[in-house]
Amino acid sequence: MANELKERIEELLRLVEKPGRYIGRETNVSVKEAGKTNVRFGFAFPDLYEIGMSYMGMQILYNTINKREGISCERIFTPAHDMEMLMRERHIPLFTLENKTDVKEMDIIGFTLQYEMAFTNILNMLDMAGMPLRSIDRDDRFPLVAAGGPCAFNPEPLAPFIDFFIIGDGENTLPVILEKYGEFKARNKGNKLVNGTSHKIEFLKEIQCDPELAVYVPGFYEEEYDEFGNVSAYKKLYDGAPDTIQRAIIDDIDAVEFPENPVVPLIETVHDRSVVETFRGCTRGCRFCQAGMIYRPIRERSKDNILRIAEKQIKNTGHDELSILSLSTSDYSDFENLALELMGKCKANNVSLSLPSLRLDSFSFKVLDEIQGYKKSGLTFAPEAGSQRLRDVINKGITENDIYDSVRQAIGLGWKNVKLYFMIGLPTETLEDLDGIAEIAHNIVQINKEIGNGGRFNVTVSVSNFVPKAHTPFQWSPQNSTAEFTEKHNYLFDKLKIKGVTFNYHDDYTSTIEAIFARGDRRVADLLENAFKLGCKLDGWSEFFNLEGWKKAIEQWDMDENYYTTRERSFDELLPWDKINSGVKKSFLLKEMKKALNETTTHDCRYGCVGCGINERVTCHFGGIYE
Ligand code: SF4
């Protein structure tokens, strides 16, 4: 059967664009024979191969699971339009890359939730697999459907479609869940379904009841609403379900495996390079940043380990570029030595080094000058807001003088391109804050005129739309409407008509859709399902975004989108994601929100703990180290 499917898939490969997306015979791939493993896990990335293969989390879990005896991990990606059309025409189900197996033959499929605009792809993938979309309609003939990743911190918009969510770091929990599933299968071997009874429920109860596994089974809860339509309670449908789900946190990331031989993509991907994670977490406390809250505390990988993994990856992949990954590169505690030693290693192996999101101090310039040489790419700054007042509101510890000082150094060293990232629609924003964006761009052009040595010089201003996220201090904030965003873009468009300045901005309507799902409750699942049925998918790709489909779905929906987007939430409201405990206290988020409204900053907690509460769960090694 599998071989027959493989042949039918292979027939399609010469008919589609980029067949490398579907071949699955990459360097370092792990192919375990289908009948020889006890549990088969399908790691589903709800987007195209070239996006999914750039995602480090997939490489980590793929490596961790496949190292275990008796369980296998195979990859599943969203097929591109041309492939999907052919597959649907010829009744070819969604398949795994490794064994070209029908996805329905997996035991568990796990979706990673990296961004809300991929949610319709999840429904499309279930549909292409020939599986009912809603978990209630899937009996034991179908695999269990799991999900994890940052968007799982507000799981409700996907609740009807997913059997269980895994909250937090997955390296330790996911393999244990898979092993438990193997035991469960062995126990239930030969048990027949009686009157449609699902044995899966028993397994879900088992994993839900183990707090170490950080599992949330949405089917064990029901949302209740008050007379204003707000969530008033989460009614438990199963007595053993916990009140809150504590996120899984790996205390010592050196103790978990990191891939030394990651799978090397067959086609060009977004980030085509070796990647080593240096640390998780962030102490800076930007109030809009979900990652900065949900990945606390800082957990560093040791320098020796990073260097060892880097060396192995260079040898095992043949990549010509190595990058390190974290939320803020220069915050690694021994960053200067790490950067110098990585530079040496890369040079010796004729591999280029990429150090993203560097804090631009004099050491970083020295390193950048050395690694970029005469081919200097753009220098990136993320002031996020145009005025000091608004930067204080969002707690972005960067001043205009920091930027201008760095720009002066950069121009002196020969940089010709400066990229500036801003967000619009931030809480308390006024037109003066937008004027500040134009002023910064103008001042940088002026600095170049004063001290530059001629030639073409460009400042790119990239503006994204602020979307409030769950588990951040701004989780209560209203979002700008689509019309407000459009108005602000038009305003900036006029203000940024400056010679030498390029202006880029994000689509407005997609931010409204993103916002509905970022802070939605269970009722937004109907919108998602209808949008998918109206043809919406690959929404993260501007060329495929189906504006008409989404507008129609919103029109046909029982709810008003403004309830989720532009409405200001009251501080005592029960939030749909309150049952998910990230370890950072809600009282801390509220305190930060109030400080934001008072335009007061909170210092980086490396300079003293500011009481987020995560140290009540795990040891916080890097908080307060400069006290
Ligand atoms: S517990 Fe304190 S030091 Fe640790 S992350 Fe939270 S605020 Fe920072």
Atom of ligand 1 nearest to the CA of 613: 1
Point out the ligand 1 atom lying closest to the alpha carbon of residue 297.
5
In angstroms, what is the span from residue 589 Cα to ligand 1's centroid?
13
With a 6 A CB cut-off, is 397 part of the ligand 1 pocket? no
Please report, for the domain that includes residue 608, its CATH number: 3.30.750.210
Q: 626: CA distance to ligand 1 center in Å?
A: 13
Residue to mutate (ligand 1; options 328, 606, 614; most atoms within 8 A of CB): 614
Please, which pLDDT band fits residue 1 given cuts at 50, 70 and 90?
Answer: low
Q: How far apart are CA 178 and CA 387, in angstroms?
A: 50
CA 282 – CA 426 distance, rounded (Å): 21
Look at residue 627 in the predicted model and tell me its pLDDT.
61
The closest residue, in CA terms, to atom 4 on ligand 1 is 623
| Triad 484, 485, 489: Cα angle to 5° | 120
Over the chain, what is the mean pLDDT? 93
The alpha carbon of 222 and the centre of ligand 1 are apart by a number of angstroms equal to 33
- Whether 602 is in the pocket of ligand 1, judged by its Cβ within 6 Å, is no
Mean pLDDT of 396-416: 87
State the pLDDT confidence band at 409, using cuts at 50, 70 and 90: confident
- CB-ligand 1 contact for 283 (6 Å cutoff): yes
Structural domain boundaries enclosing 624: 273-371+597-627
Based on the fold, state whether residues 186 and 227 are members of the same structural domain.
Answer: yes
Q: Who contacts 591 (Cβ-Cβ below 8 Å, separation ≥6)?
A: none
* Spatial contact of 37 and 72, defined as CB atoms under 8 Å apart: yes
* pLDDT (mean) for 602-609: 93
Longest Cα pair distance anywhere in the chain, in angstroms? 81
Phi then psi for 70, rounded to 5 degrees? 80, -10
**Is the C-beta atom of 583 inside 6 A of ligand 1?**
no
Ligand 1 within 6 A of CB of 620: yes
Residue 381 lies in a domain: no
Model confidence pLDDT, tens digit, residues 262-306: 999 999 888 889 999 999 999 999 999 999 999 999 999 999 999
Q: Which of 21, 472, 561 is nearest to 269 (CA)?
A: 21
0.85 exceeded by pTM:
yes
In a domain, residue 380? The reply is: no
Co-location of 295 and 201 in the same domain: no
CB of 413 within 6 A of ligand 1: the answer is no
Based on the fold, state whether residues 182 and 103 are members of the same structural domain: yes
Report whether residue 209 contacts ligand 1, using a CB cutoff of 6 Å: no
Left if phi > 0, otherwise alpha if psi is -120 to 50, otherwise beta: which for 598?
alpha
CA distance 480 to 511: 9
The answer, yes or no, to whether any atom of ligand 1 lies below 6 A from the CB of 624, is yes
Of 334, 376, 388, 382, give the one whose Cα is nearest residue 358.
382
CB of 465 shorter than 6 A to ligand 1? no
User: Taking residues 244-267, what's their average pLDDT?
Assistant: 95
Ligand 1 centroid–CA 574 distance in Å is: 25
The residue among 246, 261, 296 that closes a domain is 246
Ligand 1 pocket member 610 (CB < 6 A): yes
pLDDT on residue 10: 95
Centre of ligand 1 from the C-alpha of residue 585, in Å: 11
Q: Best substitution site from 247, 293, 615, 621 to test ligand 1's pocket, by max atoms within 8 Å of Cβ?
A: 615
With a 6 Å cutoff on the Cβ, whether 612 touches ligand 1 is yes
Query: Distance (Å, rounded) from C-alpha 528 to C-alpha 68?
Result: 36
Peptide bond into 143 cis (omega under 30): no
Kindly tell me the burial class for residue 451, based on how many C-beta atoms sit within 10 Å of its own C-beta (0-12, 13-18, 19 or more). Answer: exposed
**Burial readout 164-197 (b: 16 or more C-beta within 10 A, e: otherwise):** bbbbbbbbbbbbebbbbbbebeeeeeeeeeeeee
Determine the atom of ligand 1 nearest the C-alpha atom of 588: 7
Give the three-state DSSP class for 45: strand
- Residue 455 is predicted with a pLDDT of 83
pLDDT band (50, 70, 90) for residue 25: very high
Give the pLDDT band (50/70/90) at residue 197: low
Q: Which residues contact 502 (CB under 8 A, 6 or more apart)?
A: 458, 459, 460, 461
User: Is 65 in the same domain as 136?
Assistant: yes
- Kindly state the average pLDDT of the residues 13-30: 95
Domain count, the chain: 2
Q: How far does the centroid of ligand 1 lie from the alpha carbon of residue 583, in Å?
A: 11
Q: Evaluate whether residue 19 is within a structural domain.
A: yes
Nearest CA to ligand 1 atom 5: 297
Residue 572 lies in a domain: no
609 lines ligand 1 (CB under 6 A): yes
- CA pair distance 195, 257, nearest whole angstrom: 44
- b/e 70-95 (16+ beta carbons within 10 angstroms → b): ebbbbbbbbbbeebbebbeeeebbbb
Give per-residue pLDDT as tens, 514-536.
999 999 999 999 999 999 999 99
pLDDT tens, position by position, 323-355: 999 998 889 999 989 999 998 999 899 998 888
* Both tokens assigned to 188: 């239930």
What tens digit of pLDDT does each residue of 90-136 get? 999 999 999 999 999 999 999 999 999 999 999 999 999 999 999 99
**Atom of ligand 1 at shortest range from CA of 281:** 5
State mean pLDDT over 236-248: 95
Express as a percent the part of the chain with pLDDT over 70.
97
Alpha-carbon gap, residue 17 to 20, rounded angstroms:
9
Q: How far is the CA of 495 from the centre of ligand 1 (A)?
A: 40
| Alpha carbon distances (Å) from 121 to 117, 489, 532 | 8, 29, 8
**Distance between CA atoms of residues 579 and 565, nearest Å:** 21
Average pLDDT on 173-184 reads 95
First and final C-alpha spacing in the chain? 64
Residue 195 scores a pLDDT above 60: no
Q: Is 623 in the pocket of ligand 1 (CB under 6 A)?
A: yes
Mutate to test the pocket of ligand 1, among 612, 616, 617, 622 (most ligand atoms within 8 A of CB): 612
Confirm whether 260 is domain-assigned: no
Cβ(296) – ligand 1 distance below 6 Å: yes
Same-domain pairing of 218 and 287: no
Q: Strands 279-280 and 299-300: what pairing?
A: antiparallel
Q: Which residue minimizes the CA distance to atom 1 of ligand 1?
A: 615
Dist. CA 610 → ligand 1 center (Å): 6
Nearest to 324 by CA among 265, 271, 370, 285: 271
Domain final residue pick, 246, 265, 298 = 246
Q: What confidence tier does 507 reach under pLDDT thresholds 50, 70, 90?
A: confident
Ligand 1: centre distance to CA 389 (Å)? 25
The kind and range of the H/E element at 404 are helix 400-412
Distance 601 CA to ligand 1 centre (A): 15
Same domain, 166 and 235: yes
% residues pLDDT > 90 (the chain): 81
Residues 21 and 160 in one domain: yes
Are 70 and 163 members of one domain? yes
H runs (alpha helix) in 413-479? 431-451
Same domain, 241 and 278: no
pLDDT category of residue 359 using cuts at 50, 70 and 90: confident
**Mutate which of 295, 587, 595, 620 for ligand 1 pocket (most atoms within 8 A of beta carbon):** 620
Count of Cβ atoms closer than 10 Å to residue 538 Cβ: 22
189 and 101 part of one domain: yes
List the single range of 220-224, 369-373, 506-510 with lowest mean pLDDT.
369-373
293 lines ligand 1 (CB under 6 A): no
Domain boundary among 246, 261, 294: 246
pLDDT of residue 375: 61
Q: Check whether residue 187 and residue 293 sit in a common domain.
A: no
Residue 28, domain member (yes or no):
yes
Q: Is residue 508 in a domain?
A: no
Assess if residue 13 is contained within a domain.
yes
Q: Is the pLDDT of residue 191 over 80?
A: no
CA–centroid distance, residue 359 to ligand 1 (Å)? 21
Candidates 431, 451, 432; CA nearest to 443 is 451
> How many A from CA of 17 to the centre of ligand 1?
49
Asked if pLDDT for residue 413 goes beyond 60, the answer is yes
Asked if residue 146 and residue 48 are part of one domain, the reply reads: yes
pLDDT, position 377: 67
* pLDDT number for residue 203: 93
Between the CA of 171 and the centroid of ligand 1 the distance, in Å, is 23
pLDDT (tens digit per residue) in 426-483: 999 999 999 999 999 999 999 999 998 878 899 999 999 999 999 999 999 999 999 9
